[in-house]
Amino acid sequence: MKLFTSEDKLSRVVTDNYHLLPVINRFGIRLGFGDATIGEICAERDIHVPFFLVIINAFHHPDYFPKSEFLKFSPRLIVDYLRHTHQYYLSWVVPKMEKQLENLVESSQTNTEDLRLIILFFRKYKSELLYHIKDEEDSVFPYVLRITAAYEDGVPLSEEDWGKSIETYEKEHSDVDEKMTDLKNLVIKFLKADYNDNLCNDFLITLFRFERDLIDHSRIEDKILVPMITRIENILKNDQ
């Protein structure tokens, strides 16, 4: 596994894996960076280099599991990154998939009823996804930020927060993941192919890419954020 380092040119990162394009956008980096290296670009934009590297390497290598010594950055950065990711889903990917499905229905001559069911199912999936995102935004992230403030800035924790742990906060992603898989299988295996093939392919490609992005998103939460907060919780409790 060859990991990206701060000496690598960012243009090479993008040509190696174009799926990383939206990932680097989440850091406020836009194209047109010439031959600048990751280190140079991050310095210019005041981006924390080790954090940037962990994120792009975790996305690029599904088996990459950064050891704790590489996790020397504030959980605030992760929350900030995850919020940008949510924003990308809500403002771009989900509406795009919905539009693509609507186009697919319009392209069908005789099977619109079945396709409408798929849209209905997609909307159910969407509402669960939005609920999950809202839960993270409204309860998980604020808790992470309060724990971080207690650890980094000495802001006292409330009585209520002392009794909590990140483990109880992080809800299972499984229901949402399950519906995503069902949606894929319904379209690929069971839907009568009475529609414009290219429109269907567009939809599925968006869906596959979104699936991959979500897997990465969950890994960052489960493998990086949760262990980091658990460690801080233990330190705070021992110091109490």
Q: Footprint of other proteins on this chain (CB under 8 A)?
A: 113-114, 117-118, 120-121, 124, 175, 178-179, 181-183, 185-186, 189-192
Within 13 Å, how many C-alpha atoms sit on residue 187's CB side?
25
Judged by beta carbon, residue 181 or residue 201, the one nearer other proteins is 181
Judged by beta carbon, residue 151 or residue 210, the one nearer other proteins is 210
CB of 187 to other proteins, least distance (A): 10
Judged by beta carbon, residue 121 or residue 162, the one nearer other proteins is 121
CB of 208 to other proteins, least distance (A): 15
User: How big is the chain, counted in residues?
Assistant: 240
Judged by beta carbon, residue 96 or residue 179, the one nearer other proteins is 179
CB of 205 to other proteins, least distance (A): 19
CB of 191 to other proteins, least distance (A): 7
CB of 125 to other proteins, least distance (A): 9
CA 32 – CA 14 distance, rounded (Å): 12
CA 34 – CA 44 distance, rounded (Å): 14
CA 154 – CA 73 distance, rounded (Å): 17
Within 13 Å, how many C-alpha atoms sit on residue 111's CB side?
15
24 CB contacts (<8 Å, ≥6 apart)? 10, 13, 14, 56
Judged by beta carbon, residue 140 or residue 187, the one nearer other proteins is 187
CA 129 – CA 95 distance, rounded (Å): 13
